[in-house]
Structure 1
Amino acid sequence: MLMGQRGKSAAFMPNKYVFPGGAVDAADADIPLAGLPSAQCMDRLTLQSGPVPPVGIVAAAIRELWEETGLILGKAGSWPRLVPADWREFAELGYRPDASALRFIFRAITPPGAPRRFDARFFLADADHLANDPDDFTNAQDELSHLHWVPLAEARKLDLPFVTEVVLAEIAGLLRRGEPDDAIPFFDNTGPEGRLTRLA
C-alpha cells in the first residue's frame, strides 16, 4: 500500500498516515480522460453522489495522486483542448489521465462535529498501471512526507485515522476473497446517527 504522513502542523489529522487524496476541483469534471473505470464502478459512483459527476471524482483521484506523490495514472497522448492550470504539469509530461485501473471500494462521510467534514470515495489501483517509476516521488508536492510502499499488514500498524484503518481492513478482505463485493461499504453520517450501508 502507498502511504504518506501528514505534517505535524496540519489542521486536520496531523502526523497521521493516510492515502493520497483531496478535494475535487471545478475543472476536474471536464478533463478528457483516456479511460474510465468499469461501468459498474461508474454506476456506483452516481448513487447519492450529489452535484459532483463521477468523471470529476475519478479525475480528482488521479490529479491528487499526481500532486501528492508525483505518480502518474495515465496514457501517453496529447490533450484535445486547453489544459487547466492544475493539470498543466501532468500534461507537459505527455500524458492524459487514465482512470481505467481505478476500482471504487469505499465511501465515508465524516460525522457532524468533526473539525473538517468530507465526503470521500476510496479507490484501489494496482501499481503496475502507473506510467512512471512507482518509487520515484521527486515530483511530489509537500503535502505528505515519508511516502513509501508498505506491506498491507504493516500499513495497518501505522498511526492511522479510524477511517483509514477501516478501509485497509476492507482491502484485506477484498484481496482475501479475490472477487469484488456485490456492494460498496458506505459510512453514512448525513443524519443524526451514523450508519453503515452498502451501495449496490
Structure 2
Amino acid sequence: MTAAVDKTAIRHAATVLLVRAGSDGPQVLMGQRGSRAAFMPDKFVFPGGAVDASDFVVPLARPLDAECAARLSLDPPGPQALAAAAIRELWEETGLMLGVAGAWPSPPADWQRFAEHGLLPDASGLRYIFRAITPPGRPRRFDARFFLADAGHVVGDLDDFSAACEELSHLHWVPFATARKLNLPFITEVVLAEAQARIMGEDMPPSVPFFDNSTGVSRFHRIEL
C-alpha cells in the first residue's frame, strides 16, 4: 500500500523571472494559473514549480554563477537541483529552453524531450534574487527560490509558446510598468519590485531577501555569504 502524500508539506521549488528589453521598457514573462488550480487559482505568476528527483542528477552544461551557488549551498537541496528545476519548469510551462548544444549520457524521463533538442541545460544565465516560504494554511506550500534570467540566453523564438504544457495560460511578455495591474499573488508583487530594482541598476544590498513563513510567525532575513 502506497503511503499518502502530504500536499501541505513544504516542497523545494524554483521559479524564473525571464526578462527581455521591449519598446516600453523591460518585460517579464508571465502566465495565468487556471481557475481550478489548487494553488493560487487565477493568479498571474512566473514559470516555476517543485524540484523533482531527476533534477539532482541532470548534467549542467554550464554551472551557476559562483556567488549564487554559494548562497544556495547554505541550505538543501543545493544549487545543482534548484538550477535544474528552474530550467526544467521554464521549459515545461513555456516551451522556452535555457541550454547549449551537448550530448546527454542518459537523460531522465522528465528531461527526455529537452534532450531530443540536442541541448544540455545552461544555468550560467540564472541569478538568485529571492527566497520565500509559503505560509501555513495554504493547500500547497513551497520553499521557493527565484531566479532572474536574461532572455538572451534562450535558444529559439522568444514568442513561440507552442511547446508549453497547459499549466499556465495567457503566456505573454508583460512590461514591468504594467505588471502590477495584473491579478498577482502578494509575493509575486514583492519579487517584481526586487527584480525591477536590480534591472534598473539600483544600489542593492549584497544579499538575497528571504521571507520565511515556515512557522506561524512571518520573518524577514537576508541571505549573506
| Residue 76 (structure 1) aligned with residue 101 (structure 2) | yes
Structure 1's unaligned 5+ residue stretches are none
Give the match for residue 193 of structure 1: 217
Q: Which residues of 2 match residues 49-88 of structure 1 at below 5 A?
A: 49-50=75-76, 52-79=77-104, 81-88=105-112
Matched, 1:40 2:67: yes
SS of corresponding position for 2:125: coil
Provide the rounded CA distance (Å) in 1 between the counterparts of 2:80 and 2:204.
21
Q: Which runs of 5+ in 2 are unaligned?
A: 1-27
The runs of at least 4 aligned residues of structure 1 exceeding 4 Å deviation read none
Residue 93 of structure 1: SS of its match in structure 2? Answer: coil
CA distance in 2, matches of 1:141, 1:68: 5
Post-superposition Cα deviations, 1:108-127, rounded to whole Å, max 9, x if no partner, equal: 00111222111000001001
Quote the residue 2:5 is aligned against: none
Match of 1:154 among 168, 178, 181: 178
Q: Which digits, 9 at most, give the CA deviation of each residue in 1:27-67, with x for residues without a partner?
A: 111111001121100011122x23x1210010000000000
Deviation of the 1:179 alpha carbon: 6.0
1:190 Cα shift?
2.2
What CA distance in whole angstroms lies between the structure 1 residues aligned with 2:64 and 2:205?
16
Which one of the candidate residues 9, 20, 31 is aligned to 1:4? Answer: 31
**Counterpart residue type for residue 33 of structure 2:** R
1:159-170 superposed matches below 5 A: 159-170=183-194
Match of 1:16 in 2: 43
The alignment's TM-score, normalised by the length of structure 1, stands at 0.95
Show the counterpart of 1:176: 200
Secondary structure of 1:118's partner? strand
Change (3 A) 1:182 1:3: same
Describe how 1:130-141 pairs up with structure 2 within 5 A.
130-141=154-165
Would the aligned equivalents of 1:174 and 1:181 in 2 still touch at CA under 8 Å?
no
Q: In the alignment, what sits opposite 2:25?
A: none
How far is the alpha carbon of 1:26 from its aligned partner? 0.3
Kindly state the Cα deviation for residue 161 of structure 1 after the two structures are TM-superposed: 0.5
Higher strand share: 2
- Taking the aligned partners of 1:5 and 1:36, their CA distance within structure 2 comes to 30
Q: Is the 8 A contact 1:24 1:60 kept in 2?
A: yes
Q: Residue deviations 1:116-139, cap 9 Å, x none?
A: 111000001001110111111010
AA aligned to 1:70 is G
Question: Superposition RMSD on alpha carbons, in Å?
Answer: 1.2
Q: Secondary structure at the match of 1:37?
A: coil
